Structure 1
Amino acid sequence: MARNDTTPQSQHLAVLIDADNAPAAIVEGLFEEIAKYGIASVRRIYGDWTGPQLGKWKQVLLDHSIQPMQQFAYTKGKNSTDSSLIIDAMDLLYTRRFDGFCLVSSDSDFTRLAMRLREEGLTVYGFGEEKTPKPFVAACDKFIYTEILRADAEPAVEPAVMGKSAAPSLGDDPKPAAKPKPQKVPVDFIAKVIDDLSDEDGWASLRVLGQNITKIRPAFDPRLYGFKKLSELLKAQQRRFEMQEHGTSGGRMLYVRNRQGKKGEK
């Protein structure tokens, strides 16, 4: 079971990457994001490294101390990488050395793995593209879409060979990362959560609000809507939400109220 003597930032995490279903362009943003949640004690990436299809990943493994795990494709058309990653995850689970896992893939085959890890009391952070099936997203405690992580990534420049531009390796994404278009802010959803948490005067703690939103929607992220933080998102919706700083025994904390909610009406 997970240790109880750790803070979120000191949690020991096992990072397991499905190279067949994750672009190398996310690597910088990936580990910067993981650092917010804990220490990446184990960094492993799974795939068949004998072929050219994982060329982009090979270029960044050493720089980020990622251990490549070789998995041969024994049968054409069958992905044995998933099985190898799942077996390793269970082996690491039973060492009882980790507080959480980071599963990097857009493949729904890892849905049951995420559920099993959570059953053991561990925190599961998922990382995948927006096309990731909803069951895998819902099986994680928190899910981060990788389009956010690669928005500022610089496209790798392939060296020219014999006077011609080198063709991209199979499986690599040759297109530069495009900044994702901000989605519409789900104000009604946020308002409902505030109303469920608020006190008699309609106020809810911003910290508790963020925690509950993530529990309900693991993929919720202010960056999807063009904001770095939840507080910035709420401040931009002044017609719907009101924010104040209240003093508590633990210091100053931000609180938010739904202006249109029953509890917020005067």
Structure 2
Amino acid sequence: MDPVQLISSDSAIDERSKRLAVLIDADNAQPAVIEGLLEEVARFGEAAVRRIYGDFTSAASASWKKFLNRHSIKPVQQFAYTTGKNATDSTMIIDAMDLLYTRRFDGFCLVTSDSDFTGLAVRLREEGVLVYGFGEQKTPEAFRNACHKFIFTEVLREHAPSPEPAVVSPGNQPAALSEQKVEVQGLELARPPFPEKFLMEALDRSVDDAGWSHLGTFGSYLQKVQPDFDSRMYGFKKLSDLVRGRSDLFEVEEREAPNGNNRVLYVRARKRT
């Protein structure tokens, strides 16, 4: 392996030592996302607690069994005592608060598309712990924005096809990208229009006096402003791939890091002529 490695926002901070509690709402999550989800969680830290909440006596929850055994996820049985009332939510929220007060966790991963967990996410943030949300594209904006980072589970599905990225040159600028849809295991993954205005405004706020921004600084600002921003939604595996692929918008430059052992990536807006 080349000793000179490129550092970007995707790997600038090693968070694998963080202890995380992964709490899954079985009523609002699907087994197909579990393997990809746990791989994603491993990027942020160690899944020290893995629990899933639901009524596993119902036929609808039967598909969870093989995934729970394979990934050592502890099922928390919650009977539906009354029609129309979701006892699962209450149990998961109570468990989250119990775990919070042990002070043993650096963050929580809440796997749900239910807006009822918005208050829980806000409360956890107030206590100074990280909150990672995982849910489908239908997840209400209030819950997505209550998390430090939100990941759409459609991009985590096994064998999910990646939309082809729009790789363009400065002289070949693309027409406006309309919303596209890709079929992913029976569900439609809506590819939203490319957020050019948002990206350029965020870059403008993160550059130095010379107009350049460290990719890690740029990525951090994007996440703070829009927790559900994910380059994979636009066909790019990483932010570094996105800025390289959209050469009509960005210029990139590799520089030697101060320690001389790595190279770092800088980005700036391409000057329009």
TM bucket, shorter chain: 0.7 to 0.9
Report the equivalent of 2:251.
242
| 1:183 Cα offset (Å) | 3.1
In structure 2, distance between residues paired with 1:99 and 1:36: 14
| 1:260 Cα offset (Å) | 3.8
| 1:184 Cα offset (Å) | 2.7
Unaligned runs of 5+ in 1: 1-5, 154-174
Report the equivalent of 2:53.
46
Aligned residues: 237
* Aligned-residue RMSD, C-alpha: 1.9
Report the equivalent of 2:103.
96
In structure 2, distance between residues paired with 1:194 and 1:224: 19
Q: Contact 1:242 / 1:259 at 8 angstroms: preserved in 2?
A: yes
Q: Contact 2:32 / 2:158 at 8 angstroms: preserved in 1?
A: no
Q: Contact 2:35 / 2:158 at 8 angstroms: preserved in 1?
A: no
Amino acid at match of 2:254: E
Relative to structure 2, which stretch is displaced further, 82-91 or 250-259? Answer: 250-259
| 1:55 Cα offset (Å) | 1.1
| 1:66 and 2:68 correspond | no
Report the equivalent of 2:202.
193
Report the equivalent of 2:270.
259
In structure 1, distance between residues paired with 2:263 and 2:156: 31
SS in 2 for 1:61: helix
- Structure 1 runs (4+) greater than 6 angstroms displaced: none
Report the equivalent of 2:238.
229
In structure 1, distance between residues paired with 2:271 and 2:189: 30
In structure 1, distance between residues paired with 2:129 and 2:186: 32
Q: Contact 1:151 / 1:178 at 8 angstroms: preserved in 2?
A: no
In structure 2, distance between residues paired with 1:71 and 1:113: 19
Deviations 1:110-162 (A, max 9, x none): 00100110111100000000000000000000000011111516xxxxxxxxx
1:210 aligned residue (204, 215, 219)? 219
SS in 2 for 1:10: coil
Identity, % of aligned pairs? 55
Q: Contact 2:252 / 2:265 at 8 angstroms: preserved in 1?
A: yes
- With normalisation by structure 2, the TM-score equals 0.82
Relative to structure 2, which stretch is displaced further, 8-17 or 177-186? Answer: 177-186
Q: Contact 1:151 / 1:177 at 8 angstroms: preserved in 2?
A: no
| 1:143 and 2:144 correspond | no
The 1:185–1:151 alpha-carbon spacing in structure 2 relative to 1, beyond 3 Å, is: farther
SS in 2 for 1:98: coil
SS in 2 for 1:13: strand
Q: Greater RCO between the two (CA within 8 Å, min separation 6)?
A: 2
In structure 2, distance between residues paired with 1:244 and 1:179: 37
Report the equivalent of 2:129.
122
SS in 1 for 2:21: strand
Deviations 1:18-46 (A, max 9, x none): 00000111011110111111100000000
The 1:100–1:24 alpha-carbon spacing in structure 2 relative to 1, beyond 3 Å, is: same
| 1:179 Cα offset (Å) | 7.1
2:32 aligned residue (12, 19, 25)? 25
| 1:7 Cα offset (Å) | 4.9
In structure 2, distance between residues paired with 1:207 and 1:107: 31
1:57 aligned residue (52, 64, 68)? 64
| 1:240 Cα offset (Å) | 1.2
SS in 1 for 2:44: coil
The 1:181–1:21 alpha-carbon spacing in structure 2 relative to 1, beyond 3 Å, is: closer
